[in-house]
Structure 1
């Protein structure tokens, strides 16, 4: 028995010695892997504006998993997140991109388990020739999040990005994309079969971008705010193909209607949030078909809505919980169908009417909103007194904001608290 135990101890000792002699690439006394620590130090000169990476030191044994802007897997000690946003940002007096530069993506190849890469706000203009993001596709097979917002990128980078098939989240907001059709442009992104979130806000995209989105069927969130979409959305069918979409942002464009010339309207049965703020919608263009039956949040603030708003245009949104009509010029609600004046959205919990021209009669038109929890009606035309009897319907109300009006007092009736 003693002889057997001695043989096992000898075998284990020899195995340990072999590992030491081999100098295994994955064995290290540091918390992070040595080759990844060295790779980070190679990155440092490119992303150390104003000495933001002070913890990245060339000291043997330094644990790079504890360095700022770095996150590692607690089990494998492999680097999984790199946050280099705004670490190479240079402002110029005339706001020109004089400090734009071309990125060599090969510098990220050593981080084979990288899941999240944040490069926002670094004045990146593109990639070095033959060193595009496509070069990472085979090695960085776990990369799911890529943030390239607030740079100087344009359509020419799309071919390279389309090869990162593992991406689930891609932020290209506030760049210089135009949807010009450069080498088929945004159509190439249809290769990203796992993409769930795409942010293209703050660019110079036109209506045809909707057509190019048609094959991104995995999308759940699409942001197109702050572009150059205008008038009727002629390529609305491109959006209708995105059957998994839950959040759509079309804010701060110049859109007048969410239908095309032949009458095709937005039909996204899984859509839950729609932001149309800052556009050019008018009273006669606000109509939402039954194809938005799952919608829970609608934002129509800062449009051209004015006077008496026909509630019929909102009547199909039976599951709506949040409605924002702030910053318009609405004076009252009117149902031209039955002559009534009530807003009939029985599931509504939040209503923003701030910055309009409502008077105290508005409360009578809200009486069917028994589930309302928050009502904002500040900076309107409310004058004189409010009869508390007009508020007794709101049994679930928790927040009521009426500042910025000319109210004097509340008339309280017996039995009403």
Structure 2
């Protein structure tokens, strides 16, 4: 890092920003985020720079910043037929959109990344795409798919071990456990990312603890688990320092609120709610659920209802079924009925079908869509033949209206 900063290049050089993010994601997060914001405002960066900056943003937990860079990079790389780097970029895009729960961008990115990584023999990125797919499935409540896909990722990951993938696999298993209501299993899986035993667990990852701390705190139920999680969150807060990464601050504030004793819980919830979570809707909804569940368990039901209603509506709008159900159950326990989200027609489409439908809605021909996705016009036509009946439409013109409505 010191050597990179001595080079005679601009402080906004994409490779320098990437180096700082990769080498010192916590210590230099504020610097990395400041430079990403300046580059985002400045614009004019090329495709390679966009891919580099997008990856740097994911390394600094700035997933909200990463999405714009990565979308630009994916479109350019697709046009340049640089399929190896495209697969890598799509995996980063998929992970970013998991955190913002952007189904329409994330699911097609996952499907395309898996196809390209498999065709181009890129096991690391194939594993990464499977992890993202399993996370989306867990959020949606499709636990059978989530378990099957993370099992494939784990088998692939062990044969081509990469520390971040191994850690993400355990975080994903924790998310699946939470979605299933199995908090003990969730804690066991996520704790592997934190466990400082000797020899060190191969899933132990000092930086990805900043992601995993939210799952660890939510999974901790018994006194022993809560004590372990609280100690872990305090160690992490000390090492993170004044990290500028918003997601890191949000996750730590969420953990502190959930793990606080009764005397200090209110102040920790207030501190967490004061953070800007406009770009982290799932994190905000989880915080509102916890903020409502805490007084509900202490029989302060009138106080509990407002945050629980906000959580229920937020989860429902995001399509995060298991947490929406949990908010409904909490509301029923607080004496108020819960509403269920109505599934939309777009839920019926596979990720690749959704990707094709999005491009058809933009007015591209079968040939144009096929060139963008590296599929033949005949394959595109076959997909559209299946898409129309699923959506109850008869023409391509109706796709645009349908997408806007959902």
- TM-score, normalized by length of structure 1? 0.26
Greater C-alpha Rg: 1
Structure showing greater relative contact order (alpha-carbon pairs closer than 8 Å, 6 or more residues apart): 2
